[in-house]
């Protein structure tokens, strides 16, 4: 059955009627002005054609200041009236901050009898938001929840996402699978960028807790004053700015799931005592509360430092260290498992090229060779960053060592034209020649040595000398 078309009432004001006063005996703009807390109208080019006295007061504009004809965006940079003009559609209820006061605003297009948009008008209906308090409270609560959700890092990775064929990676995966079954506290030890967070997510994913939440928090990124409320939550009224219902901490948010404490060595000593109670008693006490709450979380902690040494120096609680160190798992640096580099590169290049929608770029043989020779202080994260850089910098169809930043840490050659120490000058010239030769040969050390007329061994020795400078 064909439904009859329902005519929607047009939601706009007819400008001709408005300006000719046909809508009322009173001047139409005066009528509008009396209905609300302020109103402003613009023409089709977004210039002000009228403003009510109350609106002037609201934005602190003197009565005699001439504003007619001025582009509205010069006066109110955040105005939404241009949008209404463009779309020809009204916005009925919007919140807008004018002079630090929240206002409820309604905006309507002004149309002529043919329906052509000739301008737009904005009405401020409320400046006292007390009557809207419940709506406002709900808005604030939802906004805060959203912010908290953003802080919760969802478990996006499974153990299969850990790339590598080396015996080290295979063993790491086996250890992680066993840890996932055991539900005990795990301590991940490894340099920056070795994949500690990735592994923590993988363990959560493979555990019976995978229906719960994975909550990650980086202790190094939190100011000390916020650690307690962030981790343990805060009772209502614990300090100003806390919601009526109090605030949940990360431990509560991870209830039933896994809490990942990254850079645990940075945790302040006072908080270490509270964390110990979580591990021993499985209970927490929110900031400003004297009530204990039971929690069921699995803790995975991680550090790139030496926790044992911190214990010996009195900077980390020994009892907490032993509680965390139940199942330590070491993640080897990339330089100890270089055989994983080709596979990692293949996966990463595919991802980068897919995401950036750029044509496929391969690595030249010399670039591959350089990747295997480099020491990778930033580990897998650095590998990813260098490949991303390579994809951006490559000029031809393949990525050269220079595109990966291979020669960045060779010192810059800056020759002083004035006579100076002969030894220094010779060294600088030598550095320049080495850098130039490597760049010309795309990083191929044998070719560079040939070009310079020295042996490969001498080239290595000179390079070492340059880096030491
Ligand atoms: N074996 C791997 N396979 C695939 N990607 C990896 C691997 N290891 C690390 N990565 C990637 O490298 C980046 C760094 O990993 P992650 O953040 O887990 O390291 P981290 O050890 O927690 O670093 P930090 O100590 O600096 O926080 C991430 O993008 C991660 O996905």
pLDDT tens sequence across 386-441? 999 998 888 888 999 989 988 876 655 555 555 566 677 677 778 888 888 887 77
> What's the gap in Å between 297 CA and the centre of ligand 1?
23
| pLDDT higher than 90, residue 298 | yes
Choose from 136-140, 220-224, 324-328, 439-443 the range with maximum mean pLDDT: 324-328
Tokens (6 digits) for 465: 């000398």
Indicate whether residue 337 lines ligand 1 (CB < 6 A): no
Tokens (6 digits) for 184: 């005990």
List phi, psi (to 5°) of 138.
-65, -40
pLDDT class for 302, splitting at 50, 70, 90? Answer: very high
- Smallest CA-to-CA distance from 55 within 79, 41, 38, 70 is with 38
| pLDDT higher than 60, residue 126 | yes
Q: Of all atoms in ligand 1, which is nearest to the CA of residue 199?
A: 18
Q: Of all atoms in ligand 1, which is nearest to the CA of residue 340?
A: 1
Mean pLDDT in residue range 76-89 = 86
Positive or negative, the CA dihedral 148, 150, 153, 158 is positive
| 278-314 as b/e: b if 16+ CB within 10 A | bbeeeebbbbbbeeebebebbbbbbbbeebeebbeee
- Smallest CA-to-CA distance from 255 within 211, 195, 223, 225 is with 211
| pLDDT confidence of residue 13 | 61
- Greater model confidence, 381 or 144: 381
- Greater model confidence, 107 or 99: 107
| pLDDT confidence of residue 7 | 43
| pLDDT confidence of residue 12 | 58
Please give the CATH number for the structural domain made up of 151-332: 3.40.50.300
pLDDT class for 159, splitting at 50, 70, 90? Answer: very high
Mean pLDDT in residue range 376-392 = 93
For residue range 437-463, what is the model confidence (pLDDT) as tens digits? 887 777 778 878 887 878 788 888 888
Q: Options 2.40.37.10, 1.10.357.10, 1.10.260.40, 1.10.8.60; which CATH number does 335-404 get?
A: 1.10.8.60
Query: Coil, strand, or helix at residue 233?
Result: coil
- Burial of residue 320 (number of CB atoms within 10 Å: 0-12, 13-18, 19+): buried
| pLDDT higher than 90, residue 157 | no
Indicate whether residue 196 lines ligand 1 (CB < 6 A): yes
| pLDDT higher than 60, residue 292 | yes
Q: Which of 261, 380, 383 to mutate to test the pocket of ligand 1 (most atoms within 8 A of CB)?
A: 380
| Tally of CA atoms within 13 A in the half-sphere of 359 that contains its CB | 6
Q: What is the complex's ipTM, to 2 decimals?
A: 0.98
**Per-domain residue ranges for the chain?**
13-127, 151-332, 335-404, 422-468
pTM, rounded to two decimals: 0.62
Q: What is the largest CA-CA distance in the chain?
A: 101
Q: Options 1.10.10.60, 3.40.190.80, 1.10.3720.10, 3.40.50.620; which CATH number does 422-468 get?
A: 1.10.10.60
Indicate whether residue 352 lines ligand 1 (CB < 6 A): no
Indicate whether residue 173 lines ligand 1 (CB < 6 A): no
Fold assignment, 13-127:
Beta-Lactamase (3.30.450)
| pLDDT confidence of residue 4 | 38
DSSP code string of 97-140: EETTEEEEEEEEEEE-TT--EEEEEEEEEES-GGGGHHHHHHHH
């Amino acid at each position: 059955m064909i439904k009859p078309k329902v005519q929607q009432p047009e939601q706009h004001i007819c400008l001709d009627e408005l300006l000719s006063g046909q809508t009322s005996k009173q001047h139409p703009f005066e009528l509008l002005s009396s209905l609300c807390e302020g109103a402003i109208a613009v023409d089709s080019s977004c210039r002000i054609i009228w403003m009510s006295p109350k609106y002037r007061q609201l934005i602190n504009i003197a009565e005699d200041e001439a504003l007619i004809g001025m582009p509205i965006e010069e006066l109110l940079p955040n105005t939404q009236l241009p949008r209404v003009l463009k779309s020809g559609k009204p916005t009925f209820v919007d919140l807008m901050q004018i002079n630090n006061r929240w206002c409820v605003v309604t905006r309507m297009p002004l149309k002529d009898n043919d329906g052509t948009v000739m301008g737009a008008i904005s009405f401020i209906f409320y400046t006292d938001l007390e009557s809207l308090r419940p709506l406002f409270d709900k808005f604030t609560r939802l906004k805060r929840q959203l912010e908290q959700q953003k802080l919760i890092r969802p478990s996006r990775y499974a153990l299969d996402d850990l790339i590598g064929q080396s015996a080290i990676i295979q063993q790491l995966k086996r250890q992680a699978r066993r840890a996932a079954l055991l539900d005990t506290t795990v301590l991940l030890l490894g340099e920056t960028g070795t994949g500690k967070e990735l592994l923590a997510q993988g363990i959560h994913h493979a555990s019976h807790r995978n229906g719960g939440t994975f909550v990650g928090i980086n202790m190094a990124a939190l100011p000390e004053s916020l650690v307690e409320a962030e981790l343990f939550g805060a009772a209502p009224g614990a300090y100003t700015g806390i919601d009526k219902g109090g605030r949940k901490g990360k431990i509560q948010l991870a209830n039933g799931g896994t809490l990942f404490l990254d850079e645990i060595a940075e945790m302040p000593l006072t908080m270490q005592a509270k964390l110990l109670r979580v591990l021993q008693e499985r209970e927490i006490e929110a900031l400003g509360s004297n009530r204990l709450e039971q929690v069921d979380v699995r803790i995975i902690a991680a550090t790139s430092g030496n926790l044992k040494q911190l214990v010996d120096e009195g900077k980390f609680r020994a009892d907490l260290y032993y509680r965390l160190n139940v199942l330590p798992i070491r993640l080897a640096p990339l330089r100890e498992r270089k055989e994983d580099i080709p596979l990692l590169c293949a996966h990463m290049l595919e991802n980068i090229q897919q995401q950036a929608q750029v044509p496929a770029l391969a690595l030249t043989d010399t670039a591959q060779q350089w990747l295997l020779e480099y020491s990778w202080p930033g580990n897998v994260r650095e590998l990813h960053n260098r490949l991303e850089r390579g994809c951006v910098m490559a000029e031809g169809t393949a990525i050269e060592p220079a595109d990966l930043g291979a020669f960045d840490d060779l010192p810059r050659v800056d020759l002083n034209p004035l006579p100076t120490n002969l030894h220094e000058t010779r060294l600088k010239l030598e550095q320049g020649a080495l850098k130039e030769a490597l760049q010309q040969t795309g990083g191929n050390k044998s070719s560079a040595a040939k070009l310079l007329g020295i042996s490969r061994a001498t080239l290595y020795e000179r390079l070492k000398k340059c880096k030491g400078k």
